[in-house]
Amino acid sequence: MSDALEWIETPAFVVRDAVVRRNIAAFQSYCDRQGLALRPHVKTHKLVRYAKAQIEAGARGITCQKIGEAEVMADGSIDDILITYNILGPEKLTRLRALSDRVPRLSVVADNDTVVDGLSQVFADADRPLTVLVECDTGGRRCGVQTPAEALALARRIAASAGIRLGGLMTYPAAGGASDAAAFLSQARDMLLRDGLDCSVVTSGGTPDMWTAQSGGVLTEYRAGTYIYNDRSLVQRGTCGWDDCAGHVLATVVSTPTPGRAVIDAGSKALSSDLLGLTDYGHVLGRPDIRITGLSEEHGVLAVDPARPLNVGERVRIVPNHVCVVSNLFDRIWIEHADGMLEEAAVDARGRVT
Amino acid sequence: MSDALEWIETPAFVVRDAVVRRNIAAFQSYCDRQGLALRPHVKTHKLVRYAKAQIEAGARGITCQKIGEAEVMADGSIDDILITYNILGPEKLTRLRALSDRVPRLSVVADNDTVVDGLSQVFADADRPLTVLVECDTGGRRCGVQTPAEALALARRIAASAGIRLGGLMTYPAAGGASDAAAFLSQARDMLLRDGLDCSVVTSGGTPDMWTAQSGGVLTEYRAGTYIYNDRSLVQRGTCGWDDCAGHVLATVVSTPTPGRAVIDAGSKALSSDLLGLTDYGHVLGRPDIRITGLSEEHGVLAVDPARPLNVGERVRIVPNHVCVVSNLFDRIWIEHADGMLEEAAVDARGRVT
């Protein structure tokens, strides 16, 4: 651990900038080779600076999940934003309309008539129509129309509605479900095109399967978020290695009550309880023999080999199970630059729940 | 649902003030009858206003887990604070020393020599000694000395150290472990007293077992946090009923992709992934037939009976599994007063991780 990290108060979220830059470049390069537009999801970092870095590296624009995130990114002059969310209700629609005046290329998704009709109503008198993609459930079992025929029906409704225009198709597939997604999307795209509808964007996403993003051949665009920092869940899947993990929780051992137990000052309010199918709550870098077996809100309990104990006051770097939620738990983070310099930074869009 | 709640943007955290007041009064009354001092843990609400309400109702002071929480409470003029945490490292010790100048009755805990020595060093020249309690592991398997004999040894060290004074014993017991805790604490207290040491405070805590707090007879003080809001985990344990749950996540149905599935705009960044041993991610009030079967960051997936569907745009109130972490995910919450009036409030100590 570099000396500079010895004086930061813990728990802290530390981001290694050089790894971030390498991760951005590597996946951009993959997408460029595949002829895929890349539209990174900012939910992971929630930072204007890294959204800009992703665009400067060649990304088409960014993805947001909430209007609040998009508002922060618009404040940072990001001009191409896809919000992959059904937006409804008068307050949110009013905010979306206001956002569209600031973001030249703004698009959203819809998977039902209520959402389409709400968007159309509020954009009916807009100078520029809002682009709407049809969200398809290709196996992820979250939102989305269930069949290509339903996608066609909703696409027709969008195309026929005032104030909005059809942009194409969007999915968030199940992990490992790229081929199912490709089959669904190919069929739906063909139905749209046969119907004379626009389907210029076919966008899928997800870091777990990002290195086979274009295997189905139908996608025009890919959305990935976690790849910028990576995390333990992605190492376990084989998507990346520990050296590719840019986001670390720095914690201090505050207690060693027994020879086999150490307690750190990072609990579920720093690491989150997300398991993502894993056992335990994170990976202690350089100490694969240590297990993080339990979290309470402000304590993490570590099982250690009594022959290789940790000492009170000792610090550990942890790769969290799921880095996207960790980013959202810290108001301020530390960016560790390649030269070892540490810079404190506010997490611009942290906590933008609406 | 009251009409006033129809226009709040979702997801939102809504706190029913009348239920809060009732929960505060009920447990204060129990402690008064048992002759127990009550020292509520503010980690659950993180609000100065409710800390003050707890003290006005008769609480001795408050409990914090982090110096950052205590600093916010000191800003709110709370003058009796116990930080139940091993505090170490130069930055935190400096902050603690500064805090002690603002908080007339400040106490902390320690379970090891390193922490005791650090406290002593930084308080050696203080006008008023810092009160330190010995943290005991009575079965909770987190921090704490392991035996009454270890408690005595550490108590002696505290009593012999400059700048600090021994206050007594502290534990956070295992759920259901009150009698084990009482046995440990009785023995340790007797050893301290026989040694001529001060043991005027014997403090335990935990909402799950709060209604049998004094069953062991040894405690002078009880710390509970969650009881102010309550949550699904406590209903499942039988500690309270649904009507005693003051903290609700208000969410909107954004999609109904299949007859048996509804998707809401509250995911793990609103409800958290905490399970606390439960199945599913919360309880939909008034609809026990609905299950919240999955969360991604910004979506919750509900299994609904197709014969009793939810509609897009419909709102639900959810009692979360673990309300303390939910409180920490919202910068601002809505307090629903008894007359139906809604007041927006900042969560004063949200995100104070250090």
CATH of the domain at A289: 2.40.37.20
| A10 in contact with B, Cβ within 8 Å | yes
Q: Parallel, antiparallel, or unpaired for β A62-64 and A80-86? A: parallel
Is 60 exceeded by the pLDDT of residue A1? no
| B298 in contact with A, Cβ within 8 Å | yes
Considering only CB atoms, B274 lies closest to which of A141, A142, A273, namely A273
Token pair for A288: 């694969």
Residues B262, B309 contacting (CB under 8 angstroms): yes
| A275 in contact with B, Cβ within 8 Å | yes
- Of the CA atoms within 13 Å of residue B346, those in its CB half-sphere come to 5
Q: Flag if B89 and A252 touch (Cβ within 8 Å).
A: yes
Measuring CA to CA, which residue among A251, A225, A223, A263 is closest to residue A320?
A251
Residues B311, B255 contacting (CB under 8 angstroms): no
| A281 in contact with B, Cβ within 8 Å | no
Query: What's the pLDDT band for B173 if we cut at 50, 70, 90?
Result: very high
Q: Flag if B331 and A313 touch (Cβ within 8 Å).
A: no
Considering only CB atoms, A137 lies closest to which of B257, B269, B329, namely B257
Question: Given A194, A213, A229, which residue is the final one in a domain?
Answer: A229
Q: Flag if A268 and B351 touch (Cβ within 8 Å).
A: no
| B214 and B74 within one domain | yes
Q: Flag if A88 and B297 touch (Cβ within 8 Å).
A: no
* Residue B26 forms part of a structural domain: no
What are the pLDDT digits (tens) for A83-113? 999 999 999 999 999 999 999 999 999 999 9
Bridge partner list, B201: B168
The CB density around residue A175, as the number of other CB atoms within 10 Å, is 15
Residue B3: predicted pLDDT: 64
Distance from B3 to chain A by nearest Cα, in Å?
15
- Residues in chain A with CB shorter than 8 Å from the CB of B88 are 252, 254, 312-313
Best residue in A254, A271, A275 to probe B by mutation, most B CBs within 10 Å? Answer: A254
> What is the number of CB-based contacts under 8 A between chain A and chain B?
153
What are the pLDDT digits (tens) for B313-339? 999 999 999 999 999 999 999 999 999
Question: Given B184, B209, B229, which residue is the final one in a domain?
Answer: B229
- Segment A226-254 shows an average pLDDT of 97
| B292 and B314 within one domain | yes
Is 90 exceeded by the pLDDT of residue A6? no
- Secondary structure in 3-state letters for chain B: CCHHHHCCCCCEEEEEHHHHHHHHHHHHHHHHHHCCEECCECCCCCCHHHHHHHHHCCCCCEEECCHHHHHHHHHCCCCEEEEEEECCCHHHHHHHHHHHHHCCEEEEEECCHHHHHHHHHHHCCCCCCEEEEEEECCCCCCCCECCHHHHHHHHHHHHCCCCEEEEEEEECCCCCCHHHHHHHHHHHHHHHHHCCCCCCEEEEECCCCHHHCCCCCCCCEEECCHHHCCCHHHHHHCCCCHHHCCEEEEEEEEEEEECCEEEECCCHHHHCCCCCCCCCCCEECCCCCCEEEEECCCCEEEECCCCCCCCCCCEEEEECCCHHHHHCCCCEEEEECCCCCEEEEECCCCCCCC
What are the pLDDT digits (tens) for B93-108? 999 999 999 999 999 9
Per-residue CA distances from B76 to A347, B47, B51, B52, B349 (Å): 26, 9, 9, 9, 11
Residue A2: predicted pLDDT: 53
Is 60 exceeded by the pLDDT of residue B244? yes
Is 60 exceeded by the pLDDT of residue B110? yes
Distance from B33 to chain A by nearest Cα, in Å?
30
Helix, strand or coil for residue B105? Answer: strand
Rounded Cα distance, B134 and B157, in Å: 10
- Of the CA atoms within 13 Å of residue B23, those in its CB half-sphere come to 28
| B187 in contact with A, Cβ within 8 Å | no
Rounded Cα distance, B231 and B244, in Å: 8
Rounded Cα distance, B286 and A305, in Å: 49
- Segment B7-12 shows an average pLDDT of 95
The nearest alpha carbon in chain B to A249 belongs to B353
Residues B294, B305 contacting (CB under 8 angstroms): no
* Residue A84 forms part of a structural domain: yes
In angstroms, how far is CA B279 from the centroid of its own chain? 22
| B162 and B138 within one domain | yes
Token pair for B119: 């406290």
Residues B249, B292 contacting (CB under 8 angstroms): no
Tokens 């920490």 label which residue?
B328
DSSP E strands: which ranges in B67-158?
80-86, 105-110, 130-136
DSSP letters for A153-178: HHHHHHHTSTTEEEEEEEE-PPTT-H
| B339 and B274 within one domain | yes
* Residue A214 forms part of a structural domain: yes
- Segment B250-255 shows an average pLDDT of 98
Q: For the CA atoms of A126, A129, A131, A132, what is the dihedral angle to 10 degrees?
A: 70
* Residue A158 forms part of a structural domain: yes
Residue B2: predicted pLDDT: 53
Q: Flag if B112 and A324 touch (Cβ within 8 Å).
A: no
Rounded Cα distance, A159 and A278, in Å: 43
Residue A3: predicted pLDDT: 64
Cis peptide before B11 (omega within 30 of 0): yes
User: Is the Cα torsion angle B15, B16, B22, B25 positive or negative in sign?
Assistant: positive
Residue B213: predicted pLDDT: 86
* Residue A18 forms part of a structural domain: no
As a whole-number percent, the residues of chain B with pLDDT over 70 amount to 99
Q: Flag if A111 and B255 touch (Cβ within 8 Å).
A: yes
- Residues in chain B with CB shorter than 8 Å from the CB of A298 are 43, 65-66, 85
| B276 and B215 within one domain | no
Residues B299, B263 contacting (CB under 8 angstroms): yes
Helix, strand or coil for residue A130? Answer: strand
* Residue A353 forms part of a structural domain: no
Token pair for B331: 């910068």
Tokens 């320690």 label which residue?
B110
Least confident of B79-83, B172-176, B228-232: B172-176
Query: What's the pLDDT band for B215 if we cut at 50, 70, 90?
Result: confident
Rounded Cα distance, A40 and A24, in Å: 9
| A298 and A237 within one domain | yes
- Segment B166-190 shows an average pLDDT of 96
| A191 and A46 within one domain | yes
Q: Flag if B115 and A312 touch (Cβ within 8 Å).
A: yes
The nearest alpha carbon in chain A to B95 belongs to A9
- Residues in chain A with CB shorter than 8 Å from the CB of B324 are 297
Distance from A10 to chain B by nearest Cα, in Å?
6
| B239 and B225 within one domain | no
Give B120's contacts (C-beta < 8 A, 6+ positions apart).
Answer: B161, B162, B163, B164
Residues B317, B248 contacting (CB under 8 angstroms): yes
What are the pLDDT digits (tens) for A181-194? 999 999 999 999 99
Length of chain B: 354
Query: What's the pLDDT band for A214 if we cut at 50, 70, 90?
Result: confident
Q: Flag if B325 and A268 touch (Cβ within 8 Å).
A: yes
| B273 in contact with A, Cβ within 8 Å | yes
Is 80 exceeded by the pLDDT of residue B194? yes
| B177 and B90 within one domain | yes
| A121 in contact with B, Cβ within 8 Å | no
Distance from A278 to chain B by nearest Cα, in Å?
13
DSSP state of A41: B
| A125 in contact with B, Cβ within 8 Å | no
* Residue A26 forms part of a structural domain: no
Per-residue CA distances from A186 to A17, B30, B259 (Å): 38, 65, 25
Considering only CB atoms, A325 lies closest to which of B65, B90, B269, namely B269
Chain A 150-169, residues with CB within 8 Å of chain B CB atoms: none
Domain count, chain B: 2
Length of chain A: 354
| B315 in contact with A, Cβ within 8 Å | no
Q: What is the CATH number of the domain that holds B95?
A: 3.20.20.10
What are the pLDDT digits (tens) for B116-158? 999 999 999 999 999 999 999 999 999 999 999 999 999 999 9
Distance from B111 to chain A by nearest Cα, in Å?
7
Is 50 exceeded by the pLDDT of residue B1? no
| A283 and A205 within one domain | no
| B142 and B48 within one domain | yes
Measuring CA to CA, which residue among B70, B32, B39 is closest to residue B202?
B39
Measuring CA to CA, which residue among A165, A114, A118, A164 is closest to residue A143?
A114
The nearest alpha carbon in chain B to A85 belongs to B254
Residues B298, B265 contacting (CB under 8 angstroms): yes
Range of the domain at A329: 3-13+233-346
- Residues in chain B with CB shorter than 8 Å from the CB of A296 are 142
**φ/ψ of residue B227, rounded to 5:** -55, -25
| B62 and B112 within one domain | yes
What are the pLDDT digits (tens) for A292-307? 999 999 999 999 999 9
Residue A5: predicted pLDDT: 83
- Residues in chain A with CB shorter than 8 Å from the CB of B297 are 43, 65, 324-325
Helix, strand or coil for residue B142? Answer: coil
* Residue B202 forms part of a structural domain: yes
Rounded Cα distance, A28 and A324, in Å: 20
How many helical (H) and strand (E) elements, i.e. helices and strands, does chain B have? 10, 17
Q: Flag if A329 and B330 touch (Cβ within 8 Å).
A: no
Q: Flag if B313 and A89 touch (Cβ within 8 Å).
A: yes
Q: Flag if B65 and A297 touch (Cβ within 8 Å).
A: yes
Q: Flag if B255 and A144 touch (Cβ within 8 Å).
A: yes
Question: Given B191, B213, B229, which residue is the final one in a domain?
Answer: B229
Cα Rg of chain A, angstroms: 22
- Residues in chain B with CB shorter than 8 Å from the CB of A263 are 142-143
Residues B108, B82 contacting (CB under 8 angstroms): yes
Q: Flag if A256 and B146 touch (Cβ within 8 Å).
A: no
Per-residue CA distances from A272 to A327, A328, A353, B130, B187 (Å): 10, 10, 16, 33, 37
DSSP letters for A91-123: HHHHHHHHHHTT-SEEEEEESSHHHHHHHHHHH
Q: Residue B219 carries which side chain, given as an amino acid letter?
A: L
